[in-house]
Amino acid sequence: MEWREQLKGKRGLALTLVWASILLLILVTGLNAQATDPAQGVGPAQTYTLSGRVYEGNAGLEPSTPLQGVTVSLYCSNNYGQQGTFLRSTTTDSYGWYGLNISDTVACEYYNIVETDPVGYFSKGATTVGGSVISANWIEYTYPLDGKTLTGNKFWDETNHVYLPITLRNYQ
């Protein structure tokens, strides 16, 4: 009879451990299944990089000459067609490359990449693979960013050359 009571006690402990494990699994699964909408602030933070290049020349023509030292900024907006709130900026390197890091904990419906023309230049155009070109200086991405191509965002600028017609006359 003694061995039966010992077995009963071990079964009770085993059942308690099983139920505790199931409850823990339900809690963990339920927490991970919640939305990861940045506006809700739930879920692990994901970091993304919106990147591309700035070139000198006509839009879409590659290879083009890279422009170094051009300011490219990132803005956050919840309204289509509005740049929104400034988040950060960077400058292009000697290859014309830039990268703007963002975290999905920043609540934005639209992420806007804005290129500032260097002194003596004007914009010729922009191209993007995963976003939308709003203007020659503005590329927009819509939330969520998962599954979108975030690189290949390119801007082209041209110098402000002023050409004056010159007439040569024969003076005698």
Judge if 17 and 52 occupy the same domain: no
Task: Give domain status of residue 40, yes or no.
Answer: no
Does residue 42 lie in a domain region? no
Domain assignment present for 166? no
The pLDDT score that the predictor gives to residue 141 is 96
C-alpha dihedral (136, 137, 143, 144), degrees to nearest 10? 80
Answer yes or no: is 165 within a domain: no
Q: Same structural domain for residues 28 and 73? A: no
Give me the pLDDT at residue 62, please. Answer: 82
**Domains in the chain, number:** 2
Q: Domain for residue 110, yes or no?
A: yes
Are residue 146 and residue 68 in the same domain, yes or no?
yes
- In angstroms, the CA 127 to CA 123 distance is 12
Same domain, 130 and 61: yes
Per-residue pLDDT of the chain (172 residues; tens, 9 = 90+): 564 555 455 566 555 555 556 654 555 444 443 334 444 445 567 899 999 999 999 888 888 899 999 999 999 999 998 999 999 999 999 999 999 999 877 789 999 999 999 999 999 999 999 999 999 999 999 999 989 999 999 999 999 766 566 666 665 5
Cα–Cα distance for residue pair 89/158, rounded to 1 Å: 22
Please indicate, yes or no, whether residues 23 and 53 belong to a single structural domain of this protein: no
Q: Are residues 93 and 59 in the same domain?
A: yes
pLDDT confidence of residue 104: 72
- Residue type at 168 in one-letter notation: L
Compute the distance between CA of residue 124 and CA of residue 117 in angstroms, rounded to an integer. 10
Residues 77 and 125 grouped into a single domain: yes
Hey, which bits of the chain come out as E strands?
47-56, 65-66, 71-77, 85-91, 97-103, 110-115, 121-127, 132-135, 138-142, 153-159
Q: What is the CATH number of the domain that holds 93?
A: 2.60.40.10
Question: Strand 132-135's sheet: what is its strand order?
Answer: 85-91, 71-77, 110-115, 138-142, 132-135
Same domain, 56 and 141: yes
- Domain span at residue 20? 1-34
**Token couple for 17:** 């451990």
Does residue 109 sit in the same domain as residue 82? yes
Cβ distance 96 to 67 under 8 Å?
yes
Identify whether residues 17 and 51 lie together within a single domain.
no
For residues 12 and 69, state if they share a domain: no
Whole-number pLDDT of residue 160: 78
